[in-house]
């Protein structure tokens, strides 16, 4: 228990150091860890000396129980998706690292099929340790419009008009056909798709070499089935959610649909812009 004077001093420290301490923060790469417990333990041990990143300060900032962080690290509590999103925003994680953290949460679900799904996702989608991604490819991987147009092409086997695309996608909008043509040119340049002499779709290369001959293939599309659920108006049936590596079991479709739509409600703006400002989080848990 701390007295009122300590409370005031704690608040002053937290506000005074909020910007300065972030510059001194020791960053820890979440994708280097196989469990969120190990990630949190290493992050906490490296930064606990900073007032804004003590367990008490983190709990106060995120409205968590005071012992919750230690309970997570020691396996006494399980991290929920909603709180994983809170934590990702607080730590200023980008959208890819945020989704990896969420995958670690799903990986520990009590349903064995759910665990297997996300273990496969982590081992294949996020295995960047064995390859070097150049700036050009990284930009492509982070271009959500390019990924969405690629999804449309794979599902419909045709080049979309911008109006047809906008009817399909809920949170990603394209303003004119020129923008579509620019995206198509990028996909062609990277040998992701091939066009015939008339400009119609000839072939979709699910696995391909990029221009620098790094075997990234379908890794250009980094969110697979989740993007289709999160960003489209109506989630597709499992047969349409085949995106190279990831397949959703038919009997698990409704589970993934409901949970990932809930994630969309709270994460879509963060995924599109990497914003970390405070927003009301849609309250749900597994």
Of 92-96, 181-185, 232-236, 243-247, the range with the lowest mean pLDDT is: 243-247
Let me know if residue 285 belongs to a domain.
no
| Judgement on whether residues 14 and 98 belong to the same structural domain of the protein | yes
| Judgement on whether residues 103 and 192 belong to the same structural domain of the protein | no
- For the CA atoms of 282, 121, 76, 63, what is the dihedral angle to 10 degrees? -30
Boundary (domain end) residue, out of 111, 144, 160: 111
What pLDDT, in 10s, does the model give residues 68-80? 999 999 989 988 8
| Judgement on whether residues 26 and 103 belong to the same structural domain of the protein | yes
| Judgement on whether residues 166 and 259 belong to the same structural domain of the protein | yes
Cα(139)–Cα(121) distance, integer angstroms: 21
Q: What is the pLDDT of residue 83?
A: 83
Quick one: which of 224, 223, 222, 228 has its CA closest to 257? Answer: 228
Q: Tokens at residue 113, please?
A: 């099929």
Kindly calculate the radius of gyration of the chain based on its CA atoms and give it in whole angstroms.
21
Q: What is the mean pLDDT of residues 251-262?
A: 57
Let me know if residue 123 belongs to a domain.
no
| Judgement on whether residues 155 and 64 belong to the same structural domain of the protein | no
Let me know if residue 212 belongs to a domain.
yes
Let me know if residue 263 belongs to a domain.
yes
Average pLDDT, rounded, for the chain: 65
- Is the pLDDT at 142 greater than 60, yes or no? no
| Judgement on whether residues 20 and 83 belong to the same structural domain of the protein | yes
| Judgement on whether residues 96 and 148 belong to the same structural domain of the protein | no
Instruction: Return the higher-pLDDT residue of 140 and 93.
Output: 93
Q: What is the mean pLDDT of residues 125-154?
A: 54
What pLDDT, in 10s, does the model give residues 80-94? 877 888 888 888 887
Taking the model in full, what pTM does it have? 0.39
| Judgement on whether residues 46 and 142 belong to the same structural domain of the protein | no
| Judgement on whether residues 28 and 61 belong to the same structural domain of the protein | yes
- Is the pLDDT at 58 greater than 80, yes or no? yes
Which residue, chain included where needed, has tokens 């879509």? 268
pLDDT bin (cut points 50, 70, 90) of residue 208 is very low
Instruction: Return the higher-pLDDT residue of 118 and 206.
Output: 118
Instruction: Return the higher-pLDDT residue of 68 and 145.
Output: 68
- Alpha helix (H) residue ranges in the chain: 4-24, 36-47, 55-62, 68-73, 81-90, 95-107, 112-125, 135-141, 144-156, 162-168, 177-189, 224-231, 253-273
| Judgement on whether residues 139 and 253 belong to the same structural domain of the protein | yes
Containing structural domain, residue 265: 135-273
| Judgement on whether residues 25 and 154 belong to the same structural domain of the protein | no
Between the alpha carbon of residue 229 and those of residues 14, 140, 145, the distances in Å are 38, 21, 15
- Is the pLDDT at 181 greater than 70, yes or no? yes
Of 53-67, 219-233, 242-256, 266-280, the range with the lowest mean pLDDT is: 266-280
Instruction: Return the higher-pLDDT residue of 52 and 121.
Output: 52
Domain count, the chain: 2
| Judgement on whether residues 150 and 261 belong to the same structural domain of the protein | yes
- Is the pLDDT at 31 greater than 60, yes or no? yes
Boundary (domain end) residue, out of 111, 146, 181: 111
């Amino acid at each position: 228990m701390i007295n009122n004077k300590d409370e005031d001093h704690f608040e002053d420290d937290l506000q005074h150091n909020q910007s300065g301490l972030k510059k001194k923060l020791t960053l820890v790469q979440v994708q280097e860890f196989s469990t969120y417990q190990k990630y949190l333990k290493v992050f906490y041990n490296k930064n606990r000396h900073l007032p804004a990143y003590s367990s008490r300060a983190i709990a106060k900032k995120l409205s968590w129980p005071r012992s919750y962080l230690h309970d997570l690290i020691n396996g006494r509590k399980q991290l929920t998706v909603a709180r994983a999103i809170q934590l990702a925003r607080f730590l200023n994680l980008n959208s890819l690292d945020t989704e990896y953290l969420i995958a670690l949460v799903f990986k520990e679900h009590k349903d064995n099929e759910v665990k297997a799904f996300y273990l496969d996702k982590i081992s294949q989608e996020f295995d960047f340790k064995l390859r070097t991604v150049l700036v050009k490819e990284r930009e492509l991987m982070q271009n959500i419009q390019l990924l969405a147009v690629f999804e449309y092409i794979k599902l419909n086997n045709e080049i979309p008009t911008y109006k047809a695309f906008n009817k399909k996608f809920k949170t990603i909008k394209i303003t004119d056909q020129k923008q579509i043509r620019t995206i198509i040119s990028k996909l062609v340049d990277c040998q992701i798709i091939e066009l015939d002499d008339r400009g119609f779709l000839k072939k979709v290369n699910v696995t391909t070499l990029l221009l620098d001959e790094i075997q990234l293939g379908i890794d250009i599309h980094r969110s697979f089935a989740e993007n289709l659920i999160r960003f489209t108006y109506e989630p597709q049936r499992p047969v349409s959610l085949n995106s190279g590596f990831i397949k959703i079991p038919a009997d698990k479709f409704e589970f993934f649909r409901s949970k990932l739509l809930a994630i969309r409600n709270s994460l879509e703006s963060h995924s599109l812009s990497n914003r970390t400002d405070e927003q009301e989080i849609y309250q749900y848990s597994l």
